[in-house]
Amino acid sequence: MREILPALRRWYASGEPFGLATVVAVTRSAPRGPGAVMAVGPGGEVAGSVSGGCVEGAVLDLATEVVETGRAQLSTFGYSAEDAFAVGLTCGGEITLLVRPVSAATDPAFGEVAASVAEHRPVVMATVTDGPAPRGAALAVWPDTVAGSLGTTGLDAAVTADARGELAQGATGLRHYGARGERREDDVTVFLQSFAPPPRMLVFGAIDFAAAVARIGAFLGYRVTVCDARPAFADPRRFPAGAEVVVDWPHRYLRATDTDERTVMCVLTHDPKFDVPLLEVALRRPAAYIGVMGSRRTHDDRLARLRETGIGEPELARLRSPIGLDLGARTPEEVAVSIAAEIVALRWGGTGAPLADSTGAIHRPRPKPV
């Protein structure tokens, strides 16, 4: 939803209703996962995508219809074998969409939800998709407050508790409840869509490769910080707009910075006086990825130095060095692509092998939060 926020906020402020289609479930291979959205605004203006083009025409009609009727709909699209030009997913998967009307009159909390998403404040949007509760009813849940209702006090309380748990993990998906929030029943289906702050990418070493890594990190949705102890190199003019640039010793900056299981760190200094103290801190912190630039010989020397500091083998095994996948990269931009490819592969359990040489599903199931 972050991608189309300007349009959503503009339509919402106008007071005119718009149709919002959200992917709430996926089976087998599908172009986009749960949480992908497409919206149809006044005058038929379209923003976003739920399938990469396969079913958008049908979704346009559905969104127009729900705005006219004021009633939300749940619709499933799968592969259409009978007619190659019929509405369906050519990839063979199946997606389920909740399409609902949104306006200030019907959904008074939506404006604050949109503002929270824009300002990177954590929030969950809980929406009824099926069952005796009103389809399309919405409950917004923040860490310390709620707005809206799903129909009953018990259901609101149960969903609020679960939503805050999902928010801590940045998770999105369907949950099932009884009509009054009973945990072991499945009369009511609720879609919990988490909007956690963007994950962080910390780039250490303001060399020429760092600017390319910062650009591709921002493209992938990370909040990027570049850190270097040398003011001449840590110059914001050398980096893309939006990247935070910090002049500090890397290990000192990291020691004072929060990280979590989604944080990625790219250590590009390849200088022992910078990267050994930094990695001594990094390897004791939560992170999804710690990649380190340097030759194999440099890495062997780095490992020896880290062992001398007391870092054990389980921690050392977290290092990805030499950094990136083997793409034959040479230029800073190509190296940045190889680093990004390794980050994506690690995140989703990919092998890095050509898809043409593989069999089975292209899109792996979304990993469950730890």
pLDDT tens by residue, 46-70: 999 887 667 888 899 999 999 999 9
* Cβ density class 255-270: b for 16+ within 10 Å, e for less: eebebeebbbbbbbbb
**How would residue 89 be classed by pLDDT, with cut points 50, 70 and 90?**
low
User: Tokens 């034959």 identify what position?
Assistant: 328
Gyration radius of the chain's alpha carbons: 23
Does 367 have pLDDT greater than 60? Answer: no
List Cα–Cα distances, 183 to 139, 160, 179, 191, in angstroms: 18, 13, 10, 15
In this predicted structure, what is the pLDDT of residue 19?
Answer: 96
Cis peptide before 322 (omega within 30 of 0): yes
pTM greater than the 0.75 cutoff: no
- Asked if 296 and 324 count as a contact pair (C-beta separation under 8 A), the reply is no
Helix ranges (DSSP H) in the chain: 5-14, 56-69, 110-118, 153-169, 208-219, 250-255, 272-282, 296-308, 313-316, 332-348
- Per-residue pLDDT band at 369 (split at 50, 70, 90): very low
* pLDDT tens digit sequence for 233-284: 999 999 998 899 999 999 999 999 999 888 999 999 888 899 999 999 999 9
Range in 47-61, 81-95, 170-184 the model is least confident about: 81-95
pLDDT in tens, 122-136: 999 999 999 999 999
Helices (H) and strands (E) in the chain, counts: 10, 16
Question: Residue 200 above 80 pLDDT?
Answer: yes
